[in-house]
Amino acid sequence: MISLLTRVQLCGFKEENMERIYLDHASSMPVDPRVFEFAKSYLIKDYANPSSLYSIGLEIKNAIEESRKKIAEFINAENEKSIIFTGSATESNNLALRGTALRNIRDGKEVLASAIDHISVINPMKELQKNGFTFNVAPVDPYGIINLEILESLLTKNTTVTSLMYANNEIGTIEPIKEVSKIVHEKGRYLHVDATAAAGRLPIDVQEDGIDLLTLSSNDLYGPRGAAALYIKPGVKVQSVLLGGGQERGLRSGSENVFAIVGMGEAARIAQKEMKNESERLKKIRDELIKEILKIEDTYLTGHPTKRLPHHASFRFSYIEGESILLNMDMYNIQIATGSACSHKTLEPSHVLLAIGLKHEEAHGSMVMTLGRSNKREQVPVIVKGVKETVQRLRQLSPLT
């Protein structure tokens, strides 16, 4: 906070004008106060281990099962037994990919993901190569939509696991899951869908969409961090990746994070009820932001213009660099994200932006805004002003203009 204030003072801005405008909900979300109220007793009062057989242990076990039911309803799963709680979306993705590929190794040693899948999908897939698997990558078009013909040509009967995001977190594009499911089930075997970015924004129905494995994250539903879920369609065989006491049907050993799990179920219940109205509200604000920001010269939308998450706006600006955009926007107390190399530990630009065909220098100038409950329509002019001034300032600095 001190460094922020120093930076603010350096720029001559007045502190009192600086309401925080948080536009990075894809990165972290607040816990809904209703969720916190609902689950807080499991932190301080009902702290027994759900595996214990005394009555308080059984009561807590029941609270977990209630949460499981809510998650199953949220995605229209066949039954609540198909929901496994894990500690994070990364863990759910690892369990879905490694757990399924290794369990079904006798049926084939090929796995497939799209070029824009999350790093927690790509890295477990790469790791499977050490177990002798072939890892195929299906390309996407300039909007980020998976190429169905190439997908079909890459699938064989040995492809036991195919993974695709429901919608992409960096460019907001929504994938044609139903069509992909049809192709995967004709030519390959199981379809895993990472719905971390989409859940809570779009209605998800695993039976209607034809999904075998689905990753959900608690925090992305306004639930506490430290809980996530993996839906496993009845009949799909998966083995554990964590070995231990055999919790969660032996698929996820480790004492349950009861507070986060109970919170996640309640967050999903609220999301199911409020999602439609909230998504419509955010879409209006988002559309206005896109309209205004695209008026800036040499500015382009990344991702699909209509098949995109309702809370998501992403851009690239020519001649400037994303980390500078992020830091400059922070001086307006507006928090955004970027796919620039400088913001990553690897110093490589976002693989998603490269996959949609951007050149390296184009990918460096990206900005991602993801809206949430705290955002209001009145903030639009403030955000637009911040972006305009930031872009203008950095372009004055840039040798490329």
Partner 1 sequence: MNPKNVGVIENPDGYGKVGNPVCGDLMEIYIKVKDDIITDIKFKTFGCGSAIATSSMVTELAKGQHVDDAIKITRNDVADELDGLPPQKMHCSNLAADALHEAIKDYKKKKK
Stretch that binds partner 1, among 102-110, 122-130, 248-256, 359-367 (CB under 8 A): 359-367
Instruction: Report the residue number, 210 or 339, with the smaller CB distance to partner 1.
Output: 339
Describe the chain by its helix, strand, coil percentages, rounded to 5.
Answer: 45, 15, 40
Stretch that binds partner 1, among 100-108, 109-117, 301-309, 391-399 (CB under 8 A): 391-399
Is 132 or 399 the residue whose CB approaches partner 1 more closely? 399
Distance of CA 346 to the CA centre of its chain: 20
277-316 positions binding partner 1, by CB under 8 A: none
Pick between residue 1 and residue 10 the one whose CB is nearest to partner 1.
10
Is 333 among the residues that bind partner 1 (CB under 8 A)? no
From residue 191, give the alpha-carbon distance in Å to each of 212, 231, 241, 320, 372.
5, 12, 19, 39, 29
Beta bridge partners of 216: 229
Do 195 and 166 meet the contact criterion of CB atoms below 8 Å apart? yes
- The 3-state DSSP class for residue 370 equals strand
Residue choice 81, 276, 360, 376 for contact with partner 1 (CB under 8 A): 360
Rounded to whole angstroms, the Cα distance separating 326 from 321 reads 9
Q: In angstroms, rounded to a whole number, what is the distance separating the alpha carbons of residues 222 and 33?
A: 9
Please give the positions annotated as active site: 342
Instruction: State yes or no: residue 103 binds partner 1 (CB under 8 A).
Output: no
> Quick check: 400 binds partner 1 (CB under 8 A)?
yes
| 3 near partner 1, rule: CB under 8 A | no
- CB-nearer residue toward partner 1: 136 or 343: 343
Please count the helices (runs of H) and the strands (runs of E) in the chain: 15, 12
CB neighbours (10 Å) of residue 269? 21
Q: Does 331 bind partner 1 (CB under 8 A)?
A: yes
Does position 361 bind partner 1 by CB under 8 A? Answer: yes
User: Restricting to residues 133-192, which ones interact with partner 1 according to CB under 8 A?
Assistant: none
Alpha-carbon span 48 to 52, nearest angstrom: 7
**Segment contacting partner 1 (CB under 8 A): 23-31, 101-109, 295-303, 322-330?**
322-330
Which two structure tokens, joined as six digits, stand for 379? Answer: 């903030």
Give dist(CA 324, CA 56) in Å, integer.
53
Verify binding: residue 273, partner 1, rule CB under 8 A.
Answer: no
* Gap between the Cα atoms of 131 and 109, Å rounded: 9
Q: Does 359 bind partner 1 (CB under 8 A)?
A: yes
User: CB of residue 390 vs partner 1: minimum separation in angstroms?
Assistant: 10
In the complex with partner 1, the residue whose CB is nearer, 231 or 332, is 332
Q: Which residues bind partner 1 (CB under 8 A)?
A: 7, 10-11, 319-324, 327-328, 331, 340-343, 345, 347, 349, 359-361, 364, 396-400
